[in-house]
Each structure stands twice: as structure tokens, then as C-alpha cells.
Amino acid sequence: LELAAELLGVARLVLLGHRDSGLPGWAEGAHPDALITADADRLARRVAEVALAEGAATVVHYDPMGIYGHPDHVMVHRVGAQAARLAGATGYQATVDREHLHFAGSDAHLVHGAARAVDQLAGVCGRVTAEISLAVAGSSAHLQCKRDAIAVHASQIPAGALRDAEFGEAYELEWYLREGPPGVLDRLGNVHALGRSAPVG
């Protein structure tokens, strides 16, 4: 995590003291430090404190489904959405455009395999294009930086998952649902406005 943050140019990394809960039914979820056992309200207050201390006008977190249903991602949505409201910040919910990814290939993006691992979702991930507020396109340098940061999480990346031929098409865009007024991401020069704002909740 620390190396990925360094590669991405993160100026301050704040750890909240919790660990991976694993997928539904895994033993990891019963660990006392598992994220899904945490007090979401307390964590939201802590994240809001950090956002206010940094002067952040934006809080980025996951969509309500956690993109593909991972329990920790769903918790991150709960915490992030509440933290954004407490901090008076625009909330951007990270998601994927499953219609776009359909054309990138069935295993081009890591969320494809991850969604299949969550039985109750039957491989469903992200949102349809009409539900997404905006997409942000990165440069080739941004794309390489993203790939390098993903690659350092070796225990989470299946062999061959970051293939050159498919990586660009699958990862060239980042998709968000917006909760609140237009914020920092809307003001970037490489934004494609797609649809509506995220529902509050």
C-alpha cells in the first residue's frame, strides 16, 4: 500500500487500523480488526477530520455496491459517503461502466474476475452508462502510473491480469457517480459528462 501510494504521488497516507475482511463467508471477516466489524460512524468522523485538515473539497469512495460486492468496498462506500457529508465535500463514488467494459473483453479488467468470485452477484459489476455521472480519461503517463501501482499488490493480481494489449482499453477511463455539486473531478480538462448525479444514501 505504501509503495502504491508513493507511485501515485500521494502526499499523506492515513491508515485506519483495519484489515481485509475477505469475501462473504470467509474466516477473515470474523477477525476483530476486519473492516466490516468496524464502527462506520466513527470511521466516517475520522475520514471527515482528515478531509477537513487537508482542506479537501472532494471525497472519493466506492459506489453503494462496492463496484462488485466486496464487503470492505461496501463499507468504504458507507464511510466515504457519510464523511463527505460531514466535511461538506462533494462525494465521488468510484464505479465501472460495465457496458464499456463488455467491449474490452471478459477478463480485461480485474473487476470481472472479482465479481464472479462474489456468488450472489453472478458476475455483475458497476453500473450501466446512463447511471454514471462522469468519466475521467488519463494520459499515457497516468495509465502507466496506474498500472505500476496496481502491480505492486502482487497477492491480489492473477498472473497475466495486466496484459499490455487490453490494459489501456480497460483502464483508460475512470467512472464516477457524483453526490453533491460539481467538484474537482468535474473541472479536469479530460472529463466526459455522462449522466445524472448519484442518489443520496
- CATH code at position 28: 3.40.50.10320
Q: Is residue 176 part of a domain?
A: yes
CA 7/CA 97 separation, integer angstroms? 25
Confirm if 33 and 19 have CB atoms less than 8 A apart.
Answer: yes
Domain membership of residue 145 as a residue range: 2-193
Please name the helix (run of DSSP H) or strand (run of DSSP E) that holds residue 95, with its range, or none. Answer: strand 90-95
Q: Is residue 201 part of a domain?
A: no
pLDDT, one tens digit for every residue, the chain (201 residues): 999 999 999 999 999 999 999 888 888 888 999 999 999 999 999 999 999 999 999 999 999 999 888 899 999 999 999 999 999 999 999 998 888 775 555 555 555 445 555 555 555 678 999 999 999 998 889 989 988 998 888 777 766 667 666 677 777 889 999 999 999 999 987 787 766 555 555
| pLDDT of amino acid 168 | 73
CA 15/CA 77 separation, integer angstroms? 17
| pLDDT of amino acid 112 | 45
Based on the structure, what is the number of domains in the chain?
A: 1
Q: Angle at CA 79, nearest 5°, toward 78 and 81? A: 70
CA 76/CA 36 separation, integer angstroms? 9
Q: Is residue 198 part of a domain?
A: no
Q: Is residue 70 part of a domain?
A: yes
Q: Is residue 146 part of a domain?
A: yes
Strands 134-137 and 173-179: antiparallel
CA 170/CA 105 separation, integer angstroms? 8
| pLDDT of amino acid 108 | 52
pTM: 0.84
SS (H, E, C) 101-141: HHHHCCCCCHHHHHHHHCHHHCCCCCECHHHCCEEEECCHH
| pLDDT of amino acid 42 | 98
Q: Is residue 48 part of a domain?
A: yes
Grid cell for residue 89: 465535500
Q: Is residue 152 part of a domain?
A: yes
